[in-house]
Chains A and B, each alone.
Chain A
Amino acid sequence: MTRDILAALVPALPLAGALVNAAFRRSLKGNTAGLLATLMVAGSFVCGVLLFMGQEVVGAMHDVNMHQQDAHEGPAHVVKLFDWISVGGMDIPFAFRIDALSLTMVLIVTGIGSLIHLYSIGYMHDDERVATFFAQLNLFTFAMLLLVMGANFVITFIGWEGVGLCSYLLIGFWYKNPAYNYAARKAFVMNRIGDLGFVLALAWIFSVLGTLDYGEVMARASSIDTATVTGITLLLFVGAVGKSAQLPLFTWLPDAMAGPTPVSALIHAATMVTAGIFLLTRSSALFMFAPFTQDVVLYTGLVTSLLTASIGVFQNDIKKVLAYSTVSQLGLMFVALGAGAYSVAMFHVTTHAFFKALLFLGAGSVIHALGGEQDIRKMGGLKGTVKVTYVTFLIGTLAIAGIPGLSGFFSKDAILAAAYQEHPAIWVVSLLISLLTCFYMFRLLFLVFFGTYRGKAHPHESPLVMTLPLMVLAVLSIGGGLLNVPHIFGGHEAMKHYLSTAADGIRNERPELSATTEWTLMIITVALILLVILFAWNRFGKKATIDPEADELPFFQRLMARKWLIDELYAKLFERPYAWLSTQLDRTGERAVMVPLMMGPGGAANKAGQLLRRLQSGNTGFYLFGMVVGLIALLAWTLYNA
């Protein structure tokens, strides 16, 4: 019973925060609004922790009866709030599913979410619409929690759409700038394209299985024929592509940097974009039976990752580098998913959430310190001025590069191992991607913090309310690896075992590589990473080489700097024909048909009125005459009928 209340509180608290902040947005001051919002999310986090601890007990109890249970059904607690849709053969309750997977995501979303809310109190302090910001941020948290806690695909979809909406609202938060609005629209439209795939998949699942509940779908996944399950999983993957910014729907994420930095940290690094990976892990029972889709997933992730890593090398905006890095890391997660290593992907989701949020918040701190400057060519030498930001940013960079000991090392290595198991060539490409990641991240670090200051502002350290989350995230980035230490280091792979209770795909993951292979791969990786860091130090640390403008670069590098011309390609392929079609329809359909159709009767009524107006001449004599005529007519008619 208490579990049900806790489970209901988890999304309810942010929702309440959103409603209060929205209702009183004009009267709430920044600090009050922010504090309220942060407390709500922190409250959800506490509930999540309580649920987590409570579940351990349940899990232990269930362990005893494990062998008696159905092998496919892991211990999950379903909290049904109310009967929602109950028509015909469709019965979809509004219910939450509390199991290992959803709790992991709840802890990530609320934990990192509360840190980011706290950070935003400082970052958005001077903005005139602070309360609206926090309302939207809370609303986003609510939607994301619905997404991860849903007991059936439909609740997840509600959350899916909700986060898309909040992403649009928050990207375009400073709506007075039309470029930001364009970025927000772009994000929403690309999300929508993915959502179409999702909805089609839902309809297909329902028509085949007659249910959309996760438990039932997982139990009966094996009964679907291969062609159908391939189709369903491909459509689900389309949804994930839209939400998690993979090829071809990834261009919205770098543009989404138009939103405030806390938004980028929360939505576009830690939570929303991981919704795609979450969905695929949730549906791993289906994906297990569709090897073709898994290949599609893997190669899409691989190509996206490589492409965006190469673009990131030449970016000069601090947030854009991080954005492309996010897309690249998401690609690696999809590679892991495609290789069937679902727990590895979820592990990387967790560690990536830690260090990417840290990096984004650090970037925000730098931007805040410099009064709004985002171009790294105008930064430099900040490590003495913004000490805390520097140290935490350094830790984040070390983590993402995969330096042994930090969290990123363990998760990335696991991905590389899974890639190797799939095919050594994939391992080579993944290694190349990791090296590129290391290169551009250290480039960023050196250009921003080392050397001499190249700008004109007066940098100052950010307040505690902003640096405290940085420090917490730094600790998590270091220690996050402990969640899933692999066997070769003497660990027990705790997270994998934990998550295996929730997702079939994890239970059926491949057996591990031999210890020697793993050590070999690891040593090669680390050695190359250190070489790359040295190269980056030489190029950027010692002498702060600013790359020339795009036109002056050699051909290949120019292509990378120009983002492989993908935006231009989309503009030509989609935007311009669509705009042309709209204009044509406006001219033929709208102006020629619809407008006369709608204004016609009105105009006719108007003309009729004008005609009838003449009867109202005001001439009393005429009125009398009319009266008499009417009377005569009436009498004549009566006589005629009688």
Chain B
Amino acid sequence: MQYLFYLFAAISVISALFVVAARSPVNSVIALIVCFLSIAGHYILLNAQFLAAVHIIVYTGAIMVLFLFVIMLLNLNKQVEPRKSVVTRIAAVAAGGLFLLTLLGAVKDGIGLARPDEYDMAVGLVASVGNSLFTTFLVPFEISSVLFLSAIIGAVTLGKRDKADVNPVAP
């Protein structure tokens, strides 16, 4: 079991690095998709079946495709973006590293585990998630539909072209 974990972990980290380091945006997107798939693998290892499925459908299937569409729309594949200065890059890596160290320091003292008696066996199964969603978390569930509505409206409004689009004035 551990081997699977380490395998998936390695794939995640390497593909994440690739996302950050790739030149072409499309390559970044592909790498990110691989990362997502590996994380889905992690979910399955944790017996979170529902989440794994939703993860692949929503993230890999919808969001990444959306990214690809936008890249295609904006014709970005051919661009080579200017690099940031060396100092900034080193600072970025350092910041990330520091962050990692700080948080590792936070968790170094170990984390408690629940006792087996309180364990809900069905956790991760679709029925269990569904049950929780429609009873305890009903209100957020309904409100999220409103959230989507606003997101749709926002996206459509932002995407519209004005008649006077000659002058680039921030809206």
Interface set of A (CB-CB < 8 Å, partner B)? 621, 625, 628-629, 631-632, 635-636, 639
Is B95 in contact with chain A by the CB < 8 A criterion?
yes
Alpha-carbon separation in the docked complex, A244 to B96 (Å): 88
Alpha-carbon separation in the docked complex, A219 to B88 (Å): 94
- Please determine whether B95 and A628 come into contact, CB atoms closer than 8 angstroms: yes
Q: Name the B residues within 8 Å of A629 (CB-CB).
A: 95
Of the 9-residue stretches B59-67, B97-105, B149-157, which lies at the interface with chain A? B97-105
- Please determine whether B88 and A632 come into contact, CB atoms closer than 8 angstroms: no
- Please determine whether B106 and A625 come into contact, CB atoms closer than 8 angstroms: no
Q: Which of B84, B99, B106 contacts A628 (CB 8 A)?
A: B99
Alpha-carbon separation in the docked complex, A413 to B99 (Å): 108
B92, chain A: closest CB distance, angstroms: 7
Q: Name the A residues within 8 Å of B103 (CB-CB).
A: 635
The residue of chain A having its C-beta at the shortest distance from the C-beta of B91 within the complex is A625
A339, chain B: closest CB distance, angstroms: 92
Alpha-carbon separation in the docked complex, A631 to B103 (Å): 11
Alpha-carbon separation in the docked complex, A629 to B98 (Å): 9
The residue of chain B having its C-beta at the shortest distance from the C-beta of A636 within the complex is B102
Q: Which of A621, A635, A636 contacts B88 (CB 8 A)?
A: A621
* With A621-B84, A625-B92 as contacts: A632 and B106 at CB distance below 8 Å: no
A-B contact pairs, 11 of them (CB 8 A): A621-B84, A621-B88, A625-B95, A628-B99, A629-B95, A631-B99, A632-B98, A636-B102, A639-B102, A639-B105, A639-B106
B107, chain A: closest CB distance, angstroms: 10
Chain B, range 80-121, C-beta contacts under 8 Å to A? 84, 88, 91-92, 95-96, 98-99, 102-103, 105-106
The residue of chain A having its C-beta at the shortest distance from the C-beta of B106 within the complex is A639
Q: Name the B residues within 8 Å of A639 (CB-CB).
A: 102, 105-106
B96, chain A: closest CB distance, angstroms: 8
The residue of chain B having its C-beta at the shortest distance from the C-beta of A634 within the complex is B102
Q: Name the A residues within 8 Å of B99 (CB-CB).
A: 628, 631-632, 635
Q: Name the A residues within 8 Å of B106 (CB-CB).
A: 635, 639
Q: Name the A residues within 8 Å of B98 (CB-CB).
A: 632
A28, chain B: closest CB distance, angstroms: 55
Count of residues in B whose CB is under 8 Å from the partner chain: 12
Alpha-carbon separation in the docked complex, A628 to B106 (Å): 17
The residue of chain A having its C-beta at the shortest distance from the C-beta of B103 within the complex is A635
Alpha-carbon separation in the docked complex, A560 to B28 (Å): 107
Alpha-carbon separation in the docked complex, A636 to B96 (Å): 14
Q: Name the B residues within 8 Å of A625 (CB-CB).
A: 88, 91-92, 95
The residue of chain A having its C-beta at the shortest distance from the C-beta of B108 within the complex is A639
B130, chain A: closest CB distance, angstroms: 36
- Please determine whether B95 and A632 come into contact, CB atoms closer than 8 angstroms: yes
Q: Name the B residues within 8 Å of A636 (CB-CB).
A: 102
- Please determine whether B91 and A632 come into contact, CB atoms closer than 8 angstroms: no
B104, chain A: closest CB distance, angstroms: 10
B26, chain A: closest CB distance, angstroms: 22
The residue of chain B having its C-beta at the shortest distance from the C-beta of A635 within the complex is B102
Q: Name the A residues within 8 Å of B95 (CB-CB).
A: 625, 628-629, 632
B28, chain A: closest CB distance, angstroms: 17
Alpha-carbon separation in the docked complex, A584 to B26 (Å): 78
Alpha-carbon separation in the docked complex, A639 to B99 (Å): 12
A619, chain B: closest CB distance, angstroms: 10
Alpha-carbon separation in the docked complex, A635 to B103 (Å): 8
**Lowest 4 A-B CB distances belong to which pairs?**
A635-B102, A628-B95, A632-B98, A636-B102
B16, chain A: closest CB distance, angstroms: 17
Alpha-carbon separation in the docked complex, A636 to B99 (Å): 9
Q: Name the B residues within 8 Å of A635 (CB-CB).
A: 99, 102-103, 106
5 new A-B contacts, CB < 8 A, other than A628-B95, A632-B98, A639-B106, are A621-B84, A628-B99, A631-B99, A635-B106, A636-B102
B95, chain A: closest CB distance, angstroms: 5
Most chain B beta carbons < 10 A, residue from A621, A628, A632, A639: A632
Q: Name the A residues within 8 Å of B92 (CB-CB).
A: 625
B9, chain A: closest CB distance, angstroms: 24
Alpha-carbon separation in the docked complex, A469 to B103 (Å): 100
Q: Name the B residues within 8 Å of A628 (CB-CB).
A: 95-96, 99
Alpha-carbon separation in the docked complex, A2 to B106 (Å): 91
Alpha-carbon separation in the docked complex, A132 to B99 (Å): 76
Alpha-carbon separation in the docked complex, A632 to B105 (Å): 12
Alpha-carbon separation in the docked complex, A632 to B94 (Å): 11
Alpha-carbon separation in the docked complex, A632 to B91 (Å): 13
Most chain A beta carbons < 10 A, residue from B84, B99, B102, B105: B102
Alpha-carbon separation in the docked complex, A628 to B98 (Å): 10
- Please determine whether A632 and B102 come into contact, CB atoms closer than 8 angstroms: yes
A386, chain B: closest CB distance, angstroms: 79
Chain B, range 7-30, C-beta contacts under 8 Å to A? none
Chain B, range 42-89, C-beta contacts under 8 Å to A? 84, 88
B65, chain A: closest CB distance, angstroms: 26
The residue of chain A having its C-beta at the shortest distance from the C-beta of B95 within the complex is A628
B69, chain A: closest CB distance, angstroms: 24
Alpha-carbon separation in the docked complex, A636 to B105 (Å): 9
A621, chain B: closest CB distance, angstroms: 7
The residue of chain B having its C-beta at the shortest distance from the C-beta of A627 within the complex is B95
Alpha-carbon separation in the docked complex, A631 to B105 (Å): 15
Alpha-carbon separation in the docked complex, A639 to B103 (Å): 9
Q: Name the A residues within 8 Å of B91 (CB-CB).
A: 625
The residue of chain B having its C-beta at the shortest distance from the C-beta of A622 within the complex is B88
Alpha-carbon separation in the docked complex, A202 to B91 (Å): 78
Bits for B115-131, please: 1 = Cβ < 8 Å to A, else 0. 00000000000000000
Alpha-carbon separation in the docked complex, A621 to B98 (Å): 18
Q: Name the B residues within 8 Å of A632 (CB-CB).
A: 95, 98-99, 102
Q: Name the B residues within 8 Å of A621 (CB-CB).
A: 84, 88
Alpha-carbon separation in the docked complex, A635 to B106 (Å): 9
Alpha-carbon separation in the docked complex, A628 to B102 (Å): 12
Q: Name the A residues within 8 Å of B102 (CB-CB).
A: 632, 635-636, 639
Alpha-carbon separation in the docked complex, A475 to B89 (Å): 106
Alpha-carbon separation in the docked complex, A526 to B106 (Å): 118
Alpha-carbon separation in the docked complex, A621 to B89 (Å): 11
The residue of chain A having its C-beta at the shortest distance from the C-beta of B84 within the complex is A621
Alpha-carbon separation in the docked complex, A636 to B92 (Å): 18
Alpha-carbon separation in the docked complex, A631 to B102 (Å): 10
Alpha-carbon separation in the docked complex, A629 to B99 (Å): 9
Q: Name the B residues within 8 Å of A631 (CB-CB).
A: 99
Alpha-carbon separation in the docked complex, A639 to B109 (Å): 12
Alpha-carbon separation in the docked complex, A629 to B91 (Å): 10
Bits for B24-41, please: 1 = Cβ < 8 Å to A, else 0. 000000000000000000
The residue of chain A having its C-beta at the shortest distance from the C-beta of B100 within the complex is A632
A236, chain B: closest CB distance, angstroms: 77
